[in-house]
Amino acid sequence: MTARGVFYVHSAPPALSPHIEWAAAGVLGVPVSLEWTDQAAAPGTLRAELHWEGRPGTAAGITSALRTWKLVRFEATEDPTPGSDGVRFSFTPSLGVFTGVIGASGDIMIPEDRLRSVMANAAVGKITLEHELERLLGTPWDNELEPFRRAGDGAPVRWLHAAV
């Protein structure tokens, strides 16, 4: 079974660009050469975008390979396949990793157990319901990444087919 998705590097120092390509290649199992462009939202950094096809779980693999890199902002998405939901991973140095299950309409789907936990913690005053719901929806990550997403509008797109 083949999955497909997009790997967005929203900002990275130029010196890390080959390392990011090597990390993605390690997950995809084929050489990766990204087309890097200047990131207007963070002068002195670069951005790149890669559309990929590979095994289900590839977006999670890319995220795992890069999640400790504190100078990179990125997102990895994976479209749904028979038997698995779509997913979006977002990473920022200040917030870490966000994982959201994506429904057929593109909405974030919050699992029942996560909602029950948030409601229980809010009921005893450990958290505020509104704040935790915003986190479950990925709002802090969206707020931080949106200027970087907009700065990438019109950037070149490249497809890569992984060895399956």
Instruction: Quote the number of domains for the chain.
Output: 1
Q: Would you say residue 85 lies in a domain?
A: yes
Q: Quick one: pLDDT at residue 159?
A: 47
Q: Would you say residue 136 lies in a domain?
A: no
The pair phi, psi for residue 10, each rounded to 5°, is: -80, -35
Q: Quick one: pLDDT at residue 152?
A: 60
Q: Would you say residue 140 lies in a domain?
A: no
Q: What is the mean pLDDT of residues 65-82?
A: 95
| pLDDT tens per residue, range 74-120 | 999 999 988 888 999 999 999 999 999 998 888 999 999 999 999 99
Paired residues of 52 in beta bridges: 5, 160
pLDDT(32) > 60? yes
DSSP 84: B
Is the pTM for the entire model greater than 0.85? yes
Domain that holds residue 47: 3-110+147-161
Q: How far apart are CA 40 and CA 117, in angstroms?
A: 40
